[in-house]
Copies of this chain bind each other. A is one copy, B any other.
Amino acid sequence: MKVSIVGATGYGGAELIRIINNHSSLSLESVHSSSKTGQAISTEYPHFMHKIEKILMEINPEQMAKTSDLVFLATPNGISKGLTPFFKDLNIKVIDLSGDLRLKDREQYQKWYKKEAASEEVTGSAVYGLSEWNQENISQADIIANPGCFPTASLLGLAPIIKNFTSIEDIIIDAKTGVSGAGRSLSSASHFSEVNENLKIYKVHEHQHTPEIEQQIKAWNKNSPNISFSAHLIPMTRGIMATMYVKADRVTSSREIWDLYKEAYEGKPFVRLHPPGSFPCTKHVYGSNFCDIGVAYDERTNRITIVSVIDNLMKGAAGQAVQNANLMFGFNESDGLLNLPLFP
């Protein structure tokens, strides 16, 4: 199967290249960029030197349709909603890593993204690519809306609770991310001297991943409440941790909660549950597609603490995108994604 990547100069695009290079059935046909056309990808990313010899090409859907079976759109928000219809008409499969196709409610998109939403036809045909919980739909999809990094960590962490408790009153998600999540575009928020030895909170009550999480938990359980979601910038490059606080609607126990997770993720190759009383750190999944989860119940407050970690560029972006490609094409779900995390 041949694949093309649009937005190959961004971090998500580069990570796709790295993964596909390891894949037994996907081969990289072409890389595309709106700004660096004609340049070698290894000039932009010298870590590919001598190994990936592609030249960045224009984004020309008709040309791409002739050579590729699948296109990954690793573009900023606001781009793929315009590109997707072309690929749809040309019958190439699309996996969109941006936020454009995730929200079914166009008003919500406009409110949180402060941009014009994609057409209903496009969002209507896009399948939400949370691999572990939407496998069947993904396997039949032509267009995948690949989940956001925070929603991936949060939803994998919340699912067993949302699906097993009738009514959850309160959900607080205190999320923390490495700086690569902000991408390769220059900004003072990613300027080394302002980020290093520093800890920031940003987009308080305004983060666009909030409605994406709410859309899914309300689909799972219509009693789900609105969430409080905060994002913090950690002075590290990769990794997301979502620390979640959920008020149980009845008395439970750490063991009962743990058993729910154990059952929910039995046999899932990329979700790993920590033993009771133990919690993951982001480095346990560094460079890999794993989502590691730890849970505990606190009797003093009748509250459950759930900790979910991923590599934001892998399970939070390119890794899950390839996992979804595997599901779409009927490959082994883990193909290209078997590398162990890098530690230390």
Contact = CB atoms under 8 A, between A and B. Distances in A.
A66 interface: no
A197 B286 contact: yes
Contact of A198 (B278, B282, B339): B282
Contact of A191 (B172, B186, B241): B186
A63 interface: no
A301 B205 CA distance: 10
A11 B193 contact: yes
A340 interface: yes
Nearest to A342: B287
Contact of A197 (B170, B186, B197, B288): B197
A236 B235 contact: yes
B239 A307 contact: no
Interface size class of A (residues with CB under 8 A): 35 or more
Contact of A179 (B192, B238, B343): B192
A341 interface: yes
Interface of A: 11, 14, 17-18, 21-22, 45-52, 170, 172, 174, 176, 178-180, 184, 186-188, 190-202, 204-205, 225-228, 230, 232, 234-239, 241, 243, 245, 247, 272, 274, 278-288, 292, 294, 296, 298, 300-301, 303, 305, 307, 309, 338-344
